[in-house]
Structures are given as structure tokens and as C-alpha cells.
Structure 1
Amino acid sequence: MQKDLLKIGSKTFESRLIVGSGKYKDFATTKQATLASGAEVITVAVRRVNITNPNEENLLDFFKDTNVAFLPNSAGCTNAEEAITLFRLIKEAVGIDFIKLEIIGDTQRTLYPDVIETIKACEVLAKEGFCVLAYTNDDPIIAKKLQDVGASAVMPLAAPIGSGLGIQNRYNIGFIKESIDVPVIVDAGVGCASDASIAMELGADGVLSNSAIALADNPVLMAEAMKHAVISGRKSFLAGRIEKKTYASPSSPIFGMAKL
């Protein structure tokens, strides 16, 4: 049986779960949880987490004996120019061109993305050869525009970052999936394993989870739960759910039943 691989740009992955590296108590726990999740990609806010300075505690050192790929993100950037400059520096410093583009418009309350600046940055970075995974709101029109300017994957939020509210608009996730051909990875707002399963059952190609794992009472156990949730949700989607009906439908046929 052929493996059900996730393809983003020129890269392929067996796991459809991407994890974050923020909010953990230490790098050791980050590594433990990441390995328990089965994720092959970990996203890193390079303006906040050290991966370039060898003279300080470096997250790269904790993962050098693993096959986990780093996905630098531009958390902390508020416009296209900042994000473009950051990723150019990262590419020059560590040679990574597989990136998560994240430009926040409201830095005080909602942490919602600035989609206009995101589109501008995505177009420039894609033309320079970056494989761009673009964080955005749950708008199918914006998702299509991101694909049109070169995004290799679109990452719509499920709910505000770190809120744990789960998917607030299931229809929009479905509309986005219908609107574009590149992978759709649900990002932000996942609070527990069932949220991840729902995202996958809606047809998402993958899920990114950070706060739900890092801030759990037992991050390693939650990471393992997320792993199985993404797998079960994907299998459920591929299997095809039954049609929803207004009234009950008996499990056993009623035709030909003997009269009492």
C-alpha cells in the first residue's frame, strides 16, 4: 500500500503534524515532546529562539541527532520588509530556505495576521526560491491570493494564537481547501487532540500545534495524543463519513422482518 505522504514544495513527510518550539520550560522538554509527537518538522521563532549563535544554548544542538527539520518562522515581524530581511539573513547564516511566513497586524490583542503584508512578502520570497508556508486568517480569498503569488502551503488559523478555542469556523476551512491546490495546514487555536482530529476530518492536509502541547500539564503525553489524533482524523477523512440525516436510520434492515 502506497504511503500517504504530505508534500510541501519539493519536500515530503510521513507525519502530518508540525509542532512549535515556543513556551516550553526548556530545550530538553521541547525535544522530548517533539519526538513523542512523531513530527518531522518543528517551527522556530528565530527572533526569539537561538539557532544561530553557537556561543549560547542553541536549539539546533538538541536536535542534531534527530531527523527533525527546522522551519524558521518570522514571529515578531509586523511588516513585509522585516520578514524578508529576516529570512534572507537566516538563509545566509544556516542555509535554510524552508520557512513559515508570519506577519502579525494586531500585536496587542488578537495576534491576527496582516494578510496584505503577508502577500507582499510571500511574493518576494517565493521568487527568491524560498519554500513559503504562509500563516493567514481563515479566508479562502486570501488563501487563493497566497497560492497565486507562490506560497507552497497555506496555514489558516483555527482561532487566535494560543487561545486553545479550537476551530471556530469549520466551513471556512472547507472553503479554503476547495479554493487552492497547495497543502492546507491548520495553524493556531488548537487546544487539544480532538481539535486536531476535527481539522483533519475537515480535509486539512496537516495541523500545527504549539501551545496545546507546550503548556499541557504533561507536554510529552499531549504530544503523543496529538500524533494519534492527526493520524485518526486523516484516516477518518480518507475513509469517508456517512451522510448526515435528520431522522434515525436503523442499523439493521427492516424489510422482510417477520411480523409478531
Structure 2
Amino acid sequence: MTGTGKYRSIADMQQSVVASGCEIVTVAVRRVQTKAPGHEGLAEALDWSKIWMLPNTAGCKTAEEAIRVARLGREMAKLLGQEDNNFVKLEVIPDTKYLLPDPIGTLEAAEQLVKEGFAVLPYINADPLLAKRLEEVGCATVMPLGSPIGSGQGIKNAANIQIIIENAQVPVVVDAGLGAPSEAAQAMEMGASALLINTAIAEAQNPVAMARAMGLAAEAGRLAYLAGRIPVKSHASASSPLTGTITQ
């Protein structure tokens, strides 16, 4: 999954989406509605017959705001031809400095939106207990952050994300903080089902090249996870067999 914000131009965004090979693109409902700088014409900039739209509730500080914006997002998806699109990326973020999601508001909004028939993809701190609770109320995924949004710090809470992955019965999407393809591969090698990457692509010196790199890294990481890595050992293990060696 990729995002649509922070690009230097609409053209950069369009080319990056294609280069990434992503199947889902998230769109900030509130910013599209208000025609915020960089978001003008965004709804018309992509071919929504080929890409699944994931409306998000970015900018919402309370559960009530997020629920209202989610409803608007569903209508926006319908207007763009995705009649059966009930997806919403749920963000409830009152913290303006670190942009960390509110766990209580997120859970409250998720419960209501699930009741209204939404496929809820909640953005959360890497909290295994909250992830399990959101799964229990019917969320379609859980989306733990690797590190704060746009920070490029990579995965700073790998242990908690690993616990979430091991216990989840729904897909786990690592969202926020990834900065390099190596970090994207790491998340997939851990067993994540998908990634959502925006800033690392949009603010790269060459966003189109970075988009392709991230797409390749996601594939490589997933293949590595399915292949099953060797166990870590405390000692060396020769690659060549010891039989048949030349002796005096």
C-alpha cells in the first residue's frame, strides 16, 4: 500500500504508485474535500478501476470526527466507481508533535464503524493487547507503526510487532516510520502481511526509483519469510562437507 501525500508533484505521485506495484492507495478524505495544498485533483489523478482506494481519517483528533470522516470516505469511493468499497484506514491522532494514535479513541471508533459495516484498518501503536482487542471487535486488519509517522527511523519496536504477528488472526500491516527498502524487507521477513509506505517514497530524492525499490523489497521479504530462514547459531557451520578431503 502507498499513500498520496507529501509528493512534490501529482506526476511524481502517479509515477510512483505505478512503479511501486501497489494494489491499494490511501487517500486523506479531509484533505481531498478541503482541496488542501498538494491534494487538488487527487481523486481524479489515479485510475480507480485498477487501484483500490483506502480512504483514511487523517487529521481526526477524536473518535467522533473519525466516524464522520469515514462515512464521507465511503461516499467518496462510491462516487469514484467503487460501489462496494467499505474500507477505511482509521486514524485518531490528537497528538500533534509525535502523531501517535489514541488507543482509546481508536477502539471506540472501530467498534462503531464495524457495526456500520466498514472494513476497518486501524492505525495503532505496536500494542499487542490493543491489536487483539481490535481484532475481537471485528477489524479487518491491525496496522502497528514501526516508528513515528514520517520519521524514517525504521522498525523501533520489532519485539512488539512480532508478538502482534504471532497472535493475530487478521492481516498485520506495518505502517509508518519505514525509511529504506531494507526496513521494508525486514517487516515482511517478520511475517507482516503488507506494508503502507508514503513518506519514504514521496520525499526520496527520486521517488519513482524508491517506489520500485520498496515494491521489490516487500516481495523479497515475503519470499524470504515463506522460504524460512536458517536458525541463528553461536558457532560456525561449514558450507562444504568434511568427507572426501585430502589427507596425508
TM above 0.5, yes or no, is: yes
Structure 1 residue 206 displacement after superposition: 0.5
Displacement of 1:252 in angstroms is 1.3
2:19 aligns to what?
A: 36
Answer yes or no: is 1:161 the counterpart of 2:117.
Answer: no
**Corresponding position of 2:195:** 207
2:65 aligned residue (74, 82, 87): 82
User: Counterpart of 1:47?
Assistant: 30
Q: Deviations over 1:114-134 (max 9, x none)?
A: 011101100110111101111
The secondary structure found in structure 1 opposite 2:205 is coil
Alpha-carbon distance, 1:226 to partner: 0.5
The answer on whether the counterparts of 2:56 and 2:73 sit within 8 Å (CA) in structure 1 is: no
The 2-side partners of 1:233 and 1:42 are apart by 20
Aligned counterpart, 1:6: none
Correspondence for 1:131 among 115, 119, 124: 119
Letter in 2 for 1:165: Q
Give every structure 1 segment of 4 or more consecutive aligned residues whose post-TM-superposition deviation is greater than 6 Å. Answer: none
Matched residues in 1 for 2:48 and 2:24: separation?
Answer: 14
Question: Residue 9 of structure 2 aligns with which residue?
Answer: 26
Using the size of structure 1 for normalisation, the TM-score is: 0.87
CA contact 1:45–1:73 (8 Å) conserved in 2: yes
Aligned equivalents of 1:164 and 1:222: distance in 2? 13
Please tell me the residue identity of whatever aligns with 1:136.
I
Which segments of 5 or more consecutive residues in structure 1 lack a partner in the other structure? 1-17
* In structure 1, C-alpha distance between the alignment counterparts of 2:41 and 2:33, rounded to whole Å: 5
Which of 230, 233, 240 in structure 1 is aligned with 2:221?
Answer: 233
Query: 1:114-193 counterparts in 2 under 5 A?
Result: 114-193=102-181
> What are the ranges of 5 or more consecutive residues in structure 2 without an aligned counterpart?
79-84
Report SS of the residue matched to 2:143: strand
Note the C-alpha offset of 1:26. 2.1
Match of 2:205 among 208, 212, 217: 217
Question: 1:69 — aligned with what?
Answer: 52
Q: How many residues align?
A: 240
Match for residue 105 of structure 1?
Answer: 94
Question: RMSD of the alignment, in Å?
Answer: 1.9
Letter in 1 for 2:56: N
Is the 8 Å Cα contact of residues 166 and 190 (structure 1) preserved in structure 2?
yes
The alpha-carbon distance between structure 1 residues 126 and 65, as it changes in their structure 2 partners (threshold 3 A), is closer
User: How far apart are residue 66 of structure 1 and its match?
Assistant: 5.3
Give the Cα–Cα distance (whole angstroms) in 1 for the partners of residues 184 and 31 of structure 2.
Answer: 26
With normalisation by structure 2, the TM-score equals 0.92
Percent identity (aligned) = 51
Q: Which moved more, 1:246-255 or 1:217-226?
A: 246-255
Equivalent position amino acid for 1:100 in 2: K
| Deviation, structure 1 residue 169 | 2.0
- Note if contact 1:153-1:184 (Cα within 8 Å) is conserved in structure 2: yes
